[in-house]
Amino acid sequence: MTAPDLRTAGRTALLATFDSLPDVVAFRTGLAAVPVPGLTEVVSGARTLLLRFDPATTDAVRLRADLQRVAPVAAATAVDGAPLVVPVVYDGEDLDAVTDLTGMSPDELVAWHTSQVWTSAFCGFAPGFSYLTGSEPPLDLPRRPSSRTAVPSGSVALAGEFSAVYPRVSPGGWQLIGRTTVPMWSLDRDPPALAPAGTRVRFVDAGRA
């Protein structure tokens, strides 16, 4: 990957812009392995990382120099602990539609979804909604022709290059392939999001209803 474009974002942050989402994820994964004095927060986007720093400890010039020491790491190869395990019942309303689009059987689709390590690239849309990228080539599935007005909480879904779990009942147009009882958002946790950016996730087949 090429070095990110670094620009100041106010008095206490740098905005790093990358060529692709995998570059963002790889740099953030590498950043976790390198102590950077004064770095207080990293906020992921689809092509960016917002890097906030403590001006009492560092400044933009020193932070730029420290970031040059970061070696990008493919998230799926990271060894800092086991992935978060999310059991899924694969009986989603769009399961048949997805198998028609991909030419896979239901068993093949479940095997594809459970055989890889997923990484939370960034969060958005709703609190606790993590955009997960996989370690296998994506299916690049289209969204549904029309969105649902209420997707059930815990729905496991696919769209484009991503998988996700809906953290609460909300509108949505992703393809629903299953469901889980794992709460992705809870104010009783710190942080409330179960899979903030950088979290590795593995789905497991909990059987079908």
Distance CA 155, CA 172 (A): 10
Measured between alpha carbons, how far is residue 56 from residues 9, 52, 61, 69, 172 in Å? Answer: 17, 12, 13, 21, 43
pTM recorded for the entire structure: 0.85
- The tokens for 195 are 């899979």
Nearest to 55 by CA among 39, 32, 36, 31: 39
Which DSSP state fits 116?
A: S
Top pLDDT among 76 and 91 is at: 91
Distance CA 123, CA 133 (A): 12
Please check whether residues 69 and 140 belong to one and the same domain. Answer: no
Please check whether residues 11 and 111 belong to one and the same domain. Answer: no
Average pLDDT, stretch 52-80?
Answer: 84
Distance CA 197, CA 46 (A): 11
For 91-124, letters b (16+ CB in 10 Å) and e give ebbbbeebbeeeeeeeeebbeebeebbbbbbbbe
User: Can you give the pLDDT at residue 50?
Assistant: 96
Please check whether residues 42 and 88 belong to one and the same domain. Answer: no
pLDDT score of 76 more than 80: no
Please check whether residues 108 and 198 belong to one and the same domain. Answer: yes
Domain boundary residue among 17, 46, 73?
A: 73
Number of domains in the chain: 2
For 36-73, letters b (16+ CB in 10 Å) and e give bebbeebebbeebbebbbeeeebebeebeebbeebebb
Measured between alpha carbons, how far is residue 41 from residues 9, 34, 186 in Å? Answer: 13, 14, 21
Tell me whether residue 79 is in a domain.
no
Q: Are 63 and 9 in contact (CB under 8 A)?
A: no
Please check whether residues 100 and 177 belong to one and the same domain. Answer: yes
Please check whether residues 150 and 59 belong to one and the same domain. Answer: no
Tell me whether residue 78 is in a domain.
no
User: Domain range spanning residue 54?
Assistant: 5-73
Average pLDDT, stretch 56-78?
Answer: 84
Write the pLDDT tens digit of every residue in 153-198.
999 999 999 999 999 999 999 999 999 999 999 999 888 999 999 8
Using a pLDDT cut of 70, give the percent of the chain over it.
95
**Domain harbouring 134, CATH code:** 2.40.100.10
**Domain harbouring 26, CATH code:** 3.30.1360.40
Q: Where are the alpha helices (DSSP H) in the chain?
A: 21-31, 60-67, 95-102, 106-114
User: Can you give the pLDDT at residue 134?
Assistant: 93
